Amino acid sequence: MISIKKTLLIVSVALFSFNSNAQVARNGEWCGADQHNEALLENNPALQEQHRLFEEYVQEYTRTHSGQNEKKGGTNDKTPNFIIPVVFHVLTFNGQGYVSKQDIDDAILRLNEDFRRLNSDTSQTRNTTNAPFAPVAVDAKVEFRLAHKDPNGNCTEGIVRVESSLSVDAGDAVKNVSRWDTKKYFNIWTVVNIGGAPSGGGIIAGYAQFPQSGINNTFGVVVDHNFVGRNDRTLSHEIGHCFGLLHTFQGGCSNNGTGGGDAIADTPPVSTSTFGCPTTQNSCNNIPTGDFYGTNVLDQIENYMSYNSCQNMFSAGQKVRMDATLNSTSTSTGLRQLSVASNLTFT
């Protein structure tokens, strides 16, 4: 397993992503998960019922588990609740799209820092009267490691390299070029670039498939190769989607933590996606009935599920929602099989 370094390098999380390949602006609507989900629902209306049943399950799980998440096992317990075996499929074409082993190792380190709240910028999570967010920022207790056995039981670095023209303007067809069993491995496809133009300009940095759309052959994350590495959080955001999280601005100011918006109580309503790091922004002035904070607070721009450049936290409520997905044994929408001991031995 990849070990998590206790001494962290100081990283600058800015509007630009840097790795050994390129310097590319991450701006506009850079996440394509919602577009991907809408296309799946349009092509398969029967998924609406699967989405509804998934949300019913998550809401019931949240009702019975809220308040016992980050405290479970003691505040000093650093044992992960879930270990996720990962395979990177690096798809290149005509010399474009290369991702080094170092970039991939760095990406795994970044994920483990962010999901375990070992990131060096935790001190940037605000804890003020109108932004009381540090107390709800938690260790999600999820760890990632590169697979060490392939589906045939052979030793592997957890990296597959393939040459394919489908890596250019990539979509879901790229997943048919190289894929390992999505019930046993978490698949990440890196590509030259992703097809489609986001609103607001820029490029799509990555997109995820939500679990409620099915843990099937297309489940996982597609990411532009420019956004893989130590100083980028695109994968933290997209994998949040794969574990059941929605954008913090989902549904605009309708978010009430019980089914509206992102369905998370401790992520305040946000009217729309924003960029940069607007520390005084309060885009929703309404205080929903039974609001978690009980007062009108600023937007939680620190959250990984925002589009902001000062991302540094998952919330306790988000952890419960991820726990619900990662504990689910549903054959269609659950991810429990990824982290069971027998699978970790196999992969």
For 238-265, the pLDDT digits (tens) are 999 999 999 999 988 876 555 568 999 9
Pairing verdict, β 206-208 and 221-224: antiparallel
For residues 192 and 97, is the Cβ–Cβ distance under 8 A?
Answer: yes
CB 236 within 8 A of CB 111: yes
The closest of 210, 211, 239 to 223, measured between CA atoms, is 239
Parallel, antiparallel, or unpaired: how do β-strands 159-163 and 142-146 relate? unpaired
Using a 10 angstrom Cβ sphere, with 0-12 exposed, 13-18 middle and 19 or more buried, the burial of residue 65 is middle
238 is catalytic: yes
Provide the 10 A C-beta neighbour count for residue 279.
15
Domains of the chain: 16-65+79-346 (3.40.390.10)
Q: Quick check: helix, strand or coil at residue 109?
A: helix
**Cβ neighbours around 212 below 10 Å, total:** 23
- Say if residue 75's pLDDT is above 80: no
DSSP state of 166: G
With contact defined as beta carbons under 8 Å apart, do 266 and 317 qualify?
A: yes
DSSP state of 25: E
CA 2 to chain centre: 19
Which one has a higher pLDDT value, 272 or 10? Answer: 272
Digit-coded pLDDT (tens) for 185-218: 999 999 999 998 776 667 899 999 999 999 999 9
- The pLDDT assigned to 46 comes to 87
Least confident residue range of 15-24, 164-173, 211-220, 312-321: 15-24
Q: For residue 2, name the pLDDT band (cuts at 50, 70, 90).
A: very low
- Between the alpha carbon of residue 124 and those of residues 120, 133, 165, 309, the distances in Å are 9, 10, 42, 12
pTM of the complete model: 0.90
Other beta carbons less than 10 A from residue 123's beta carbon: 9
Tokens at 164, concatenated: 């394919």
Q: What is the pLDDT of residues 83-110, one digit of tens each?
A: 999 999 999 999 999 999 999 999 999 9
* Model confidence band, residue 12 (pLDDT cutoffs 50, 70, 90): very low
Of 113, 143, 238, 302, which one is the catalytic site residue?
A: 238
